Structure 1
Amino acid sequence: MTHELLTIGRISVDIYPNDIGVDLEDVTSFGKYLGGSPSNVAVAAARHGRNAGVITRTGDDAFGKYLHRELRKFNVDDTFVTPVKEWPTAVTFCAIMPPDDFPLYFYGRFPTAPDLQIKAAELDLEAIREAGIFWSTVTGLCQEPSRGAHLAAHAARPRTGLAEGQYTILDLDYRPMFWASEEDARAEVAKILPHVTVAIGNDKECAVAVGEGTPDEQADRLLAAGVEIAVVKLGPEGVMAKTRTERVVSAPVPVETLNGLGAGDSFGGAFCHGLLSGWPLAQVLDYANAAGAIVASRLSCADAMPTPEEVTSLLAERGRLVPALAGAAAVPSHTTVSEGAAS
């Protein structure tokens, strides 16, 4: 089976409080959800009708069984999800303090976690090679054997241009607790970037990858490293995507934030859907922005991933360009300039 999207890396059980605006020590009840950024991205893409799978590992325990069950529930292929006897399935707690405070507490990830025990020799390189999009994160590079597996997977991918419709995406997802230093992370990212078609990150993540600078300077450095689409998230200013010939900025889609933790994963799954659909870059960004906003307005991550109908409905409500209405009258929500004007 050829996957339209195949992700690799982190998976966990997310334990999120049902009590909103309460410190974690005072929470009285919780909900249990599938978590882990690459796994959430696969779920998000599956919600958009894409054939998605994930390469990861869980503990050989009840939580591992739960994660298999959840992946299947969301129509994500779990063929490449295998157990590790030595380490328990990782669990992540958070507190939910809207609008912008969502501290995470990782358990079962130190000194290692099952999803960091992915081994190069166990990879199905043909499946990785054939996938329409292969998605990985910087977190997967933080220790061996996962680091070697990620390098082997990226080396197996064909180096195709945008015209071929096959993409290798690196989520610059930098989490300092998993690294000795930013310099160590930057060195590992530098090894991967020549194999990457698209890089996605916020200002801090881009700074770790290619150094401090303006969003345009960071995007230019990613392009110089071999990336063909550099996506820099601008926080309240929206998101920018830049190629060697185009610069697009998509304004944010305002919503009342409940839990911002899954918004980036929803953005990622929707972004993949837009690329696979062959939409113009501006349209891909608008759609992904709306998908991320929807999840930010909801409690959970994987369970909150929107359907295409929900995304297009929000875009229409906000007067934004809807994919099905391309060419019809709509309020422009992005600007596109030539490379010369963007510098």
Structure 2
Amino acid sequence: MMSSPTEMTQARTARTEDDELDLLTIGRCGVDVYPFQTGIGLEDVTSFGKFLGGSPTNVAVAAARQGARSAVITEVGDDPFGRFVCREMKRLGVSDRFVARNEDYNTPVTFCEIFPPDDFPLYFYRQPKAPDLELTASNIPIRAVRAARIFWFSVTGLSAEPSRSAHHFALDLRKGSKWTIADLDYRPMFWQDEEIASREVGRALGKANVAIGNKEECRIAVGETEPDRAADALLDRGVDIAVVKQGPLGTLAKTRQERIVMPVTPVEVCNGLGAGDAFGGSFCHALLAGLDLARAVQYASTAGAIVASRLECSTAMPTTTEIERVIAEHPDIRPVIEKR
């Protein structure tokens, strides 16, 4: 009989202190403050919820929710929100042993507005600088980075020093590792300009073997938005797997041997902001479970759809049982595989 999520979380938190990690992510974290009222602007909202946030952190939570031993390399402020972040990580099954405290900058807060089905403006409060961009090489746990089965980074962490150098220090430790995944999570407000973003993302791609992003993120990374051309360009940069997310048009995944198209799972969208993180964490879980690429994309896409139907991000991540149930409920929605 499968253990309860609470029992699994307690066991994972105990194991990650000494064992090899399944998933180690690096980068953004903070507090998401989401409105409980949808379809209205923040100026009219009267009640909010406070949640753990930051894309790499959410990815770690999504994988932990499905049994992975996960941890995050990041920094938080030495403040109440920083304490909340660490406490919530542990509650959701993610080790906080690589979370540093920064006395100079506050833990960032992110607000959003929710206008279903496809308008979810984000407001980042990360000035004058977010602690997670203050990571240095001294924050990188060398042994853990080398040993982790999957290492996940977001290109946001490349947007400023010293975080950029810290990321490359970690990526250089991964040489020869099986799974190093680049999340092409481009946020223009974090970058000085697109030219710098394209240069830095391109530089990091050479150190990853999987790249995941939407069409706009692919434009920044490789100068292409048409999904097939974007995927081919990512493969030309040296990755083994290229995944292009297309929102309601589904997902395209490519290797040098096959092309996979995954349609979307129909849901009533509440908040689409956490779907990409659910996709990422569930994709990692599928790789760890030894699923083939088509099944991994199906699994990840389904998880993304589930979270899009919910309000929050981190605490909305589905269990393995939930994902498999939704897949079983839609037997006609399956990946289409073409050999290349």
TM-score range, shorter chain: over 0.9
Shift of 1:159: 2.2
**Whole-angstrom distance in 1 between the partners of 2:207 and 2:35:** 39
CA offsets per residue over residues 305-325 of structure 1, 9 Å max, x none?
000011011111112xxxxxx
Give the structure 2 partner of residue 325 of structure 1: none
**Whole-angstrom distance in 2 between the partners of 1:213 and 1:145:** 30
Give the structure 1 partner of residue 291 of structure 2: 279
**Match status 1:49 vs 2:67:** yes
1:159 and 1:195 in contact (8 A); partners too: no
Give the structure 2 partner of residue 191 of structure 1: 203
Q: TM-score, normalised by structure 2?
A: 0.93
Identity in percent: 56
Shift of 1:332: 5.9
3-state secondary structure, aligned to 1:106: strand
Shift of 1:337: 1.1
**Match status 1:293 vs 2:299:** no
CA offsets per residue over residues 158-184 of structure 1, 9 Å max, x none?
324xxxxx3000000000001111111
| Pairing of 1:3-14 with structure 2 (within 5 A) | 3-14=21-32
Q: Which runs of 5+ in 1 are unaligned?
A: 161-165, 320-330
Q: TM-score, normalised by structure 1?
A: 0.92
3-state secondary structure, aligned to 1:170: strand
**Match status 1:244 vs 2:256:** yes
Shift of 1:336: 1.1
CA offsets per residue over residues 246-300 of structure 1, 9 Å max, x none?
1111110010000000000000000000011111111101111110001000000
3-state secondary structure, aligned to 1:256: coil
Give the structure 2 partner of residue 123 of structure 1: 140
**Match status 1:210 vs 2:222:** yes
2:249 and 2:263 in contact (8 A); partners too: yes
3-state secondary structure, aligned to 2:206: helix
Q: Which runs of 5+ in 2 are unaligned?
A: 1-18
* Cα RMSD for the two superposed structures: 0.9
Among residues 266, 269, 278, which one is paired with 1:257 in the alignment?
Answer: 269
**Whole-angstrom distance in 2 between the partners of 1:26 and 1:295:** 25
Shift of 1:122: 2.4
3-state secondary structure, aligned to 1:240: strand
**Whole-angstrom distance in 2 between the partners of 1:314 and 1:169:** 26
Give the structure 1 partner of residue 160 of structure 2: 143
2:224 and 2:233 in contact (8 A); partners too: no
**Match status 1:314 vs 2:315:** no
Structure 1 counterpart of 2:327, which letter?
Answer: L
Structure 2 counterpart of 1:270, which letter?
Answer: S
3-state secondary structure, aligned to 2:124: strand
Give the structure 1 partner of residue 78 of structure 2: 60
Give the structure 1 partner of residue 115 of structure 2: 97
**Displaced runs of 4+ in structure 1, greater than 3 A?**
none
**Whole-angstrom distance in 1 between the partners of 2:129 and 2:83:** 20
2:264 and 2:333 in contact (8 A); partners too: no
Structure 2 counterpart of 1:245, which letter?
Answer: Q
* Greater displacement, 151-160 / 23-32: 151-160
Structure 1 counterpart of 2:322, which letter?
Answer: E
3-state secondary structure, aligned to 1:92: strand
Among residues 25, 39, 43, which one is paired with 1:25 in the alignment?
Answer: 43
Give the structure 2 partner of residue 323 of structure 1: none
Shift of 1:148: 0.4
2:265 and 2:333 in contact (8 A); partners too: no
Structure 2 counterpart of 1:175, which letter?
Answer: R
**Whole-angstrom distance in 2 between the partners of 1:16 and 1:121:** 34
Note closer, same or farther for the CA distance 1:311–1:20 as it changes in structure 2 (3 Å cut): same
1:7 and 1:38 in contact (8 A); partners too: yes
Shift of 1:237: 1.5
Shift of 1:195: 0.9
Give the structure 1 partner of residue 7 of structure 2: none
2:216 and 2:225 in contact (8 A); partners too: no
